[in-house]
Amino acid sequence: MSELIKHSAAQLADKLAGGEVSAVEVTQAHLDRIAAVDTDVHAFLHVNTDEALAVAADVDSRRARGEQLHRLAGVPIAVKDLIVTIGQPTTAGSKILEGWHSPYDATVVKKLRAAGMPILGKTNLDEFAMGSSTEHSAFGPTRNPWDLDRIPGGSGGGSAAAVAAFEAPLALGTDTGGSIRQPGAVTGTVGVKPTYGGVSRYGAIALASSLDQIGPVSRTVLDSALLHEVIGGHDPFDSTSLTDPSTGLVEAALTGNVQGMRIGVVKELGGEGYQAGVEARFHESLELLRAAGAEIVEVSCPSFNYALGAYYLIMPSEASSNLAKFDGVRYGLRVLPEDGPMTIERVMGATRAAGFGDEAKRRIILGTYALSAGYYDAYYGSAQKVRTLIQRDFDAAFAQADVLISPTAPTTAFRLGEKLDDPLAMYLNDVATIPANLAGVPGLSLPSGLADEDGLPAGVQLLAPARQDARLYRVGAVLEAMLEESWGGPILAKAPALERVDTVEGK
């Protein structure tokens, strides 16, 4: 195993700029790591070896010619397989898109290419990003690098596990209700959901359009800031894209200081249902922030108690509409009915029956129900009102605090299969991350430590007002530095080695 894979993206960027290593060496080291551990971890659905090495070689030759390159040029990255890429398949974790190749690149992928970042491959996810464990992938679950019998979170378990297992220094995720932040928490990595509209969604296969956001996945707060600045900014191809420039995030991470900041503990995001070890690590983070000069205040957001209900009405409603396009006509699978008349309607029914997994079907049916005549006002209409109440709670909370803080997920990683037959228990994993999506505010998760009862990572979540993403990095970097000092190094240094030690039996 090359020591190169242990470096952060920022460290790799410095070594590349200083000519200590080449982009080809860095990329090859990560491809070797993928070859060594991904049979066990299964973070990747596709490995993009040839193109990644070609991009790295191009960066090396441009650097040798003295060209001015982007700071992250030559730093490789993994991309969640919900984001379309030319030259690689995009499946969304679904049988209905198996083998499909997009004829265009997502805007964020274009930005990675422009920065000269080799794309290592596409990472696993719950089908169409519907899930909290990656177990709903049609291509088998990803495993948590901390314990291969446990879930890596979801839906972006592949991106989080790839980064946690040192298969990639950076990854892209998407977050509709916590799909970047919750996997970050349970794998001991960092993940950020930017302000709604802060990063273009053009080319991200839509789950719930009023909630979806693309964001960075990394091992350090600074690395997420570096990636966030690459992918952020206005895009005329996404009508919900904000016109604000994506700047000041790296500077915020580098000059972090919480002296005099008010940090609000959300009363409703803790207590019952939260694992003791998760809460213990959370309270230690609060003590560290207090010691660094922050003022810790308690805020109450009573409408958050209805956030999960509102989310599980709005998200399936929008998903049922967005997934109507998978009809066996323009792309993906087509399945013909076994008997009877061969009409398009029956072909659609057979195609969608065979192509969608159980969770996708559950959510399409639930969304169709919530949007039905006679139920619309009671369900979808009410959920949209709850959304207003949640926004008002955030407004009131941010009048008392500069950032809010909570545990990211109520528990550490659970065992594969443990919640697969109980959809409602699975949904409860997202209880602390969902409010940010409903209100469009940015959120960051970073590791808070290991829970005493199981030795598995827990996460702490920071939330900031819309368009104030820089505050997340400012506070996150300070907290990360203090935590790492208390641990004597990064949390992932405590993760088990994954490479199988080949022992040669004496003959």
Partner 1 sequence: MAAINRDDVAHLARLAHIEMSDQELDRMAGELAVIVDSIKSVSEVASADVPATSHPIPLNNVLREDVVGHVFTAEQALSGAPDAEDGRFRVPAILEEES
CB of 441 to partner 1, least distance (A): 8
CB of 378 to partner 1, least distance (A): 5
> Which of 155, 224, 303, 445 does the annotation list as catalytic?
155
SS3 247: coil
Q: Which stretch binds partner 1 (CB under 8 A): 95-103, 131-139, 487-495, 499-507?
A: 95-103
Q: In this structure, are residues 63 and 181 in contact, taking their beta carbons and an 8 Å threshold?
A: no
Of 39-78, which residues contact partner 1 (CB under 8 A)?
Answer: none
Q: Which stretch binds partner 1 (CB under 8 A): 14-22, 139-147, 266-274, 385-393?
A: 385-393
Q: Per rule CB under 8 A, is residue 353 in the interface with partner 1? A: yes
* Residue 292 CB neighbour total at 10 angstroms: 17
* Residue 259 CB neighbour total at 10 angstroms: 9
CB of 70 to partner 1, least distance (A): 24
Rounded Cα gap, residues 371 and 211, in angstroms: 17
Q: Which residue has the tokens 């209880």?
A: 431
Tell me which H or E stretch contains 477: helix 469-487
To the query of whether residue 80 is one of the catalytic residues in this protein, the response is: yes
C-beta of 365 vs 399, nearer to partner 1: 365
CB of 122 to partner 1, least distance (A): 16
Q: In this structure, are residues 166 and 154 in contact, taking their beta carbons and an 8 Å threshold?
A: no
C-beta of 103 vs 506, nearer to partner 1: 103
Contact pattern from residue 463 through residue 492 relative to partner 1, giving x for each residue in contact according to CB under 8 A and a dash for the rest: ---x--------------------------
Q: Per rule CB under 8 A, is residue 391 in the interface with partner 1? A: yes
Of 121-180, which residues contact partner 1 (CB under 8 A)?
Answer: none
- Residue choice 368, 420, 468, 487 for contact with partner 1 (CB under 8 A): 368
C-beta of 152 vs 442, nearer to partner 1: 442
C-beta of 369 vs 487, nearer to partner 1: 369
Tell me which H or E stretch contains 306: none
C-beta of 5 vs 366, nearer to partner 1: 366
- Give 123's strand partners: 44, 80
> How far apart, in Å, are the Cα atoms of 240 and each of 326, 381, 436?
23, 22, 17
Q: Per rule CB under 8 A, is residue 285 in the interface with partner 1? A: no
Tell me which H or E stretch contains 299: strand 295-299
Structure tokens at 446: 């970073």
To the query of whether residue 155 is one of the catalytic residues in this protein, the response is: yes
Q: In this structure, are residues 360 and 306 in contact, taking their beta carbons and an 8 Å threshold?
A: no
> Which of 15, 80, 95, 122 does the annotation list as catalytic?
80
Rounded Cα gap, residues 496 and 149, in angstroms: 13
> How far apart, in Å, are the Cα atoms of 67 and each of 16, 19, 25, 60, 109?
13, 13, 19, 10, 22
- Residue choice 440, 442, 449, 457 for contact with partner 1 (CB under 8 A): 440
| Edge-to-edge strands, sheet with 214-218 | 44-47, 119-123, 77-80, 170-174, 214-218, 190-193, 443-450, 457-463, 403-407, 262-266, 295-299
Give the count of residues interacting with partner 1 (CB under 8 A).
77
To the query of whether residue 179 is one of the catalytic residues in this protein, the response is: yes
Contact pattern from residue 322 through residue 351 relative to partner 1, giving x for each residue in contact according to CB under 8 A and a dash for the rest: --x--xxxxxxxx-xx---xxxxxxxxxx-
C-beta of 49 vs 209, nearer to partner 1: 209
CB of 379 to partner 1, least distance (A): 7
Contact pattern from residue 225 through residue 264 relative to partner 1, giving x for each residue in contact according to CB under 8 A and a dash for the rest: -----------xx-xx-x----------------------
* Burial grade of 258 (CB within 10 A; 0-12, 13-18, 19 or more): buried
Q: Per rule CB under 8 A, is residue 382 in the interface with partner 1? A: yes
Catalytic positions, written as ranges? 80, 155, 179
